[in-house]
């Protein structure tokens, strides 16, 4: 029972994490964007894409991800749990990437506080997944989940850019 609650909570946990990103990204951009792209030019294209989104566009991306995760959780609860578990892995690795951004850039990066606070949540889920599935299955779910999340976000950022260019 407890393990299914971990996965059912995924969309809510995701929203809590993304609220930090949503509320802190503009402050971060004003304070650190120029310095970050100057010191780390390889991240300029990604950060510029995010900076180019207004709050409504960013909110649409967050809402779409929430719906995507909710559908995966419903599907995983009543049909096949593997896609939901893969997205759980993908979300957890996404949190780890926020932590790496902070370490690599040596400054606060939006989403890192909630990422750190969610380590126990993710650790419980990983422990559960390692009990339910083989190591190979977990690796496939982790890589697949992260790839799906990355592709979905890339597609959504691209769509938001296209829609804003129409104005």
Res 1 pLDDT > 50:
no
Sign of the CA dihedral with 135 first, then 14, 74, and 123 last: positive
Higher pLDDT residue, 44 or 17?
17
Beta strands in the chain (DSSP E): none
Q: What is the pLDDT of residue 20?
A: 93
Per-residue confidence at 166, pLDDT binned at 50, 70, 90?
Answer: low
Does residue 167 have a pLDDT over 80?
no
CA 165 → CA 22, 56, 70, 122, distances in Å?
A: 22, 14, 30, 38
Across all residues in the chain, what is the average pLDDT? 89
Percent helix, strand and coil across the chain, each to the nearest 5: 90, 0, 10
pLDDT greater at residue 165 or residue 98: 98
Per-domain residue ranges of the chain: 2-165
Structure-model confidence comparison of residues 155 and 40, the more confident one: 155
Contact (Cβ atoms closer than 8 angstroms) between residue 118 and residue 17? yes
Indicate if the pLDDT at residue 153 is higher than 80: yes
Task: Tell me the pTM.
Answer: 0.87
Whether residue 2 has pLDDT greater than 60: no
- CA dihedral angle for residue 150, residue 154, residue 157, residue 160, rounded to 10 degrees: -130
Q: Which of 18-22, 48-52, 55-59 has the highest mean pLDDT?
A: 18-22
Which pLDDT band holds residue 135 (cuts at 50, 70, 90)?
Answer: very high
Of 133, 122, 59, residue with least CA distance to 92: 122
Summarised one tens digit per residue, pLDDT across range 72-125 is 999 988 898 999 999 999 999 999 999 998 998 888 889 999 999 999 999 999
């Amino acid at each position: 029972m407890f393990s299914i609650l971990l996965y059912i909570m995924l969309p809510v946990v995701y929203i809590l994490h993304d609220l930090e990103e949503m509320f802190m990204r503009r402050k971060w951009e004003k304070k650190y964007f120029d310095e970050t792209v100057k010191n780390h030019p390889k991240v300029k294209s990604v950060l510029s894409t995010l900076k180019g989104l207004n709050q409504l566009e960013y909110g649409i991306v967050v809402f779409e991800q929430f719906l995507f995760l909710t559908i995966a959780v419903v599907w995983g609860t009543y049909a096949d749990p593997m896609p939901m578990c893969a997205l759980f892995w993908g979300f957890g690795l996404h949190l780890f990437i926020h932590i790496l951004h902070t370490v690599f850039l040596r400054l606060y990066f939006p989403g890192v506080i909630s990422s750190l606070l969610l380590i126990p949540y993710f650790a419980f889920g990983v422990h559960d997944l390692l009990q339910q599935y083989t190591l190979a299955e977990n690796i496939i779910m982790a890589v697949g989940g992260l790839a799906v999340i990355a592709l979905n976000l890339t597609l959504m950022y691209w769509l938001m850019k296209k829609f804003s260019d129409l104005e």
